[in-house]
Amino acid sequence: MPRYIIKEGILDKFFGGIFSAIGRGYARRVMKILQFDPELQRLAQEADDIYDDMHRHVKERQKSDPEFAALIAKAKPIT
């Protein structure tokens, strides 16, 4: 049986790709790709839920805090 050596860089790229895809709104595609592992699929769903919560919080805070809204406008507006 072959032995595979998994280096940290490979895992970093794998997880970076997953989280960047979730951040771009492709969580459903990620979960379909990860269907071979229910635990990773569950964690990807949790990450997507957290992203939605963070997005909602920033939008609400932009409405209530003008200083925060100006800071976000300088960085990059959230759509």
* Residue 19 structural domain: 8-74
**Domain assignment present for 28:** yes
**Domain assignment present for 2:** no
User: Tokens at residue 31, please?
Assistant: 């979960």
**Domain assignment present for 29:** yes
Measure CA 17 to chain center: 9
Cα(40)–Cα(20) distance, rounded to whole angstroms?
15
Chain segment 5-24, per-residue pLDDT in tens: 656 566 667 777 777 777 67
pTM: 0.55
**Domain assignment present for 79:** no
**Domain assignment present for 1:** no
**Domain assignment present for 3:** no
Number of domains in the chain: 1
Chain segment 19-46, per-residue pLDDT in tens: 777 767 677 777 777 778 788 778 878 8
Q: Which of 41, 22, 19 is nearest to 31 (CA)?
A: 41
